[in-house]
Amino acid sequence: MISRVYRLVDTKRIEMVLREVEFEDDVVLTAPDYLSICAADQRYYFGKRSREILKIKLPMALIHEATATVLYDNSGRLKQGSKAVLVPLIEKARTSGIKSNYDPANPYVSSGIDGFIRDYVAVQRNRLIPIEGEYLPIYVFSELLSVAINALEAFDSTRCTDAGTVGIWGDGNMGYITSLALKCLYPDVEIIVVGKTLRKLQRFSFVDRTYTFDEVPNGISIDHAFECVGGSSSETAIKQIFDITMPQGCISLLGVSEEAVPINTRTVLEKGFRIIGNNRSNADDMKKAVSLIRDSDICKKYLTTLISEIVEVKEEKDISHAFEQSSLNDFKTIMKMEI
């Protein structure tokens, strides 16, 4: 069976290639329905990674956030036409003591190997999470939500003081979904969000307080923090976090920066901070995310507001259009595959 794969070959240049779909005993054939463009996809598409990295990674099909329709499962466990979330992590190794999404032996689609932007995807059965009940576009955010869940579980096992008041820096997609996960899973925690854009902060109506970077009140303090800014603004965010976080606070880093970000190690030592790095997720995290979307009305309601635009992809040029739109939209741009 032949599938069309839409690969990024250079900055803003996507080309279609034909690839044979390989079948094995534990593989399920699917057709992607909804694909969500994330910040990592944008960095590749717009050439915001170093030329050295792009030479290594490209050509490559983008997208690691996807839902799909099951076309064929030779085991009969998954019915034809049923819906599922695709897991981007390929677990080739299980190193003792290391969570699978941090094991460098395990590839992640759209990061060195082809992602989900293609006609057909054949995946191992353990990389499919069935969607029960109503099939909503917001299930495409399961991967992003699972990253927040992964970070919250690390936070819970690392912190040594009460959750109390938690600050989240970042008014983009990662800041939004981390705030929402915290609201759903820790309903008694006071949540403060700090961001750059008032327009975006107005979407965070479910948190307790919001501030722009330059309007954080003097004398305010928080118990713990999540940094979801990334990029060149990470340094400013981390400095502000260090200034107002209480001693022995847990500081969780989720923002991605292409350049090294300096931190004040003296403050880390004096305050006894516990700093955690968080990246990606695995199938177990994604199962929890799918269940949270299914069972939580609050999660459903506010994930819906994360959608800025749904672009129907009926021909190849619509893919580039969706990426261009994603740079203009405040939050998530989704592609609905009809090609």
pLDDT tens, 104-120? 999 999 998 999 999 99
Give the Cα separation of 207 and 334 in Å (integer). 25
75 — phi, psi (to 5°)?
A: -80, -20
pLDDT value of residue 249: 97
- pTM for the whole thing? 0.95
Cα separation, 286 vs 43, in Å, equals: 24
The confidence score (pLDDT) of residue 23 equals 78
Per-residue pLDDT tens digits for 19-78: 999 877 789 999 999 999 999 999 999 999 999 999 999 999 999 999 999 999 988 899
Distance from CA of residue 246 to its chain's centroid?
Answer: 28
pLDDT band with cut points at 50, 70 and 90 for residue 96? confident
Q: What pLDDT, on the 0 to 100 scale, is given for residue 130?
A: 97
